[in-house]
Amino acid sequence: MIFTDPERAEFLTLIDPLSALGNVHGLQGIFVPQSVDRDAAQSISNKLRSSGWAVPFTYPRLSGTYTQSLLGETPSSAYALLLTAEGRVLYRSERSRLGAFEGIRAAIGE
Protein backbone atom coordinates (compact mmCIF):
# COMPACT_ATOMS: atom_id res chain seq x y z
CA MET A 1 0.00 0.00 0.00
CA ILE A 2 1.25 3.44 -0.85
CA PHE A 3 -0.06 6.46 1.01
CA THR A 4 0.60 9.84 -0.61
CA ASP A 5 -1.05 12.92 -2.08
CA PRO A 6 -1.36 12.41 -5.86
CA GLU A 7 -0.98 16.17 -6.36
CA ARG A 8 2.45 16.37 -4.73
CA ALA A 9 5.55 16.27 -6.93
CA GLU A 10 6.84 13.17 -5.11
CA PHE A 11 3.93 11.14 -6.50
CA LEU A 12 5.42 11.18 -10.00
CA THR A 13 8.83 10.05 -8.70
CA LEU A 14 7.19 6.94 -7.24
CA ILE A 15 5.56 5.72 -10.46
CA ASP A 16 8.47 3.92 -12.14
CA PRO A 17 9.68 2.02 -9.05
CA LEU A 18 6.11 1.13 -8.08
CA SER A 19 5.32 -0.08 -11.58
CA ALA A 20 8.41 -2.31 -11.47
CA LEU A 21 7.11 -3.90 -8.26
CA GLY A 22 4.00 -4.90 -10.21
CA ASN A 23 6.07 -7.70 -11.78
CA VAL A 24 6.67 -9.36 -8.40
CA HIS A 25 4.54 -12.49 -8.16
CA GLY A 26 1.84 -12.21 -5.52
CA LEU A 27 2.35 -8.50 -4.85
CA GLN A 28 -0.63 -6.20 -5.41
CA GLY A 29 -0.24 -2.46 -5.09
CA ILE A 30 -3.02 -0.39 -3.55
CA PHE A 31 -2.99 3.38 -3.55
CA VAL A 32 -4.41 5.26 -0.55
CA PRO A 33 -4.70 8.92 -1.62
CA GLN A 34 -3.95 11.54 1.02
CA SER A 35 -5.12 15.14 1.31
CA VAL A 36 -7.64 15.00 -1.52
CA ASP A 37 -11.24 16.07 -1.84
CA ARG A 38 -13.70 13.36 -0.77
CA ASP A 39 -15.28 13.35 -4.23
CA ALA A 40 -12.02 13.10 -6.20
CA ALA A 41 -12.32 9.43 -7.22
CA GLN A 42 -12.56 10.16 -10.96
CA SER A 43 -9.63 12.58 -10.96
CA ILE A 44 -7.50 10.06 -9.03
CA SER A 45 -8.45 7.31 -11.47
CA ASN A 46 -7.48 9.57 -14.38
CA LYS A 47 -4.17 10.52 -12.74
CA LEU A 48 -3.25 6.88 -12.08
CA ARG A 49 -4.20 5.82 -15.59
CA SER A 50 -2.28 8.68 -17.25
CA SER A 51 0.78 8.00 -15.07
CA GLY A 52 0.89 4.37 -16.22
CA TRP A 53 0.41 3.04 -12.69
CA ALA A 54 -3.06 1.53 -12.92
CA VAL A 55 -3.69 -0.01 -9.48
CA PRO A 56 -6.74 -0.19 -7.25
CA PHE A 57 -7.19 2.75 -4.89
CA THR A 58 -9.33 3.52 -1.90
CA TYR A 59 -12.17 5.96 -2.27
CA PRO A 60 -10.97 9.37 -1.12
CA ARG A 61 -13.81 9.70 1.40
CA LEU A 62 -12.53 6.53 3.13
CA SER A 63 -8.79 7.18 2.81
CA GLY A 64 -8.51 9.02 6.13
CA THR A 65 -10.18 6.15 7.98
CA TYR A 66 -7.97 3.53 6.31
CA THR A 67 -4.87 5.61 6.96
CA GLN A 68 -5.66 6.03 10.65
CA SER A 69 -6.54 2.37 11.15
CA LEU A 70 -3.46 1.06 9.33
CA LEU A 71 -0.84 3.64 10.29
CA GLY A 72 -2.26 5.35 13.37
CA GLU A 73 -1.38 8.74 11.91
CA THR A 74 -1.39 10.74 8.70
CA PRO A 75 2.08 10.48 7.14
CA SER A 76 3.89 13.72 6.29
CA SER A 77 5.30 12.27 3.08
CA ALA A 78 4.76 9.19 0.94
CA TYR A 79 4.53 6.05 3.02
CA ALA A 80 4.87 2.38 2.06
CA LEU A 81 3.16 -0.44 3.94
CA LEU A 82 3.56 -4.08 2.93
CA LEU A 83 1.03 -6.51 4.40
CA THR A 84 0.46 -10.22 4.03
CA ALA A 85 -2.99 -11.42 2.96
CA GLU A 86 -3.67 -12.03 6.65
CA GLY A 87 -2.76 -8.44 7.57
CA ARG A 88 0.68 -9.06 9.07
CA VAL A 89 3.04 -6.13 8.50
CA LEU A 90 6.15 -7.15 6.56
CA TYR A 91 7.52 -3.69 5.86
CA ARG A 92 6.69 -0.06 6.59
CA SER A 93 8.58 3.14 5.93
CA GLU A 94 8.21 6.79 5.08
CA ARG A 95 9.49 7.61 1.60
CA SER A 96 11.94 10.18 3.01
CA ARG A 97 13.71 7.36 4.93
CA LEU A 98 13.14 4.74 2.35
CA GLY A 99 15.10 2.70 0.15
CA ALA A 100 11.43 1.60 0.22
CA PHE A 101 11.56 -0.27 -3.00
CA GLU A 102 14.70 -2.14 -1.99
CA GLY A 103 13.17 -2.73 1.44
CA ILE A 104 9.96 -4.07 -0.05
CA ARG A 105 11.88 -6.46 -2.29
CA ALA A 106 13.96 -7.62 0.68
CA ALA A 107 10.85 -8.12 2.83
CA ILE A 108 9.36 -10.50 0.30
CA GLY A 109 12.62 -12.27 -0.48
CA GLU A 110 12.84 -10.94 -4.03
- Note down pLDDT in tens along the chain; length 110 residues: 889 898 888 888 887 777 777 667 677 888 999 988 888 889 889 888 888 887 889 999 999 999 999 999 988 888 888 888 888 888 888 765 555 666 666 666 66
For residue 105, the cross-strand partners are none
C-alpha 88/C-alpha 12 separation (Å) is 28
Classify residue 8 as exposed, middle or buried by CB count within 10 Å of its CB (0-12, 13-18, 19+).
Answer: middle
User: pTM for this one?
Assistant: 0.79
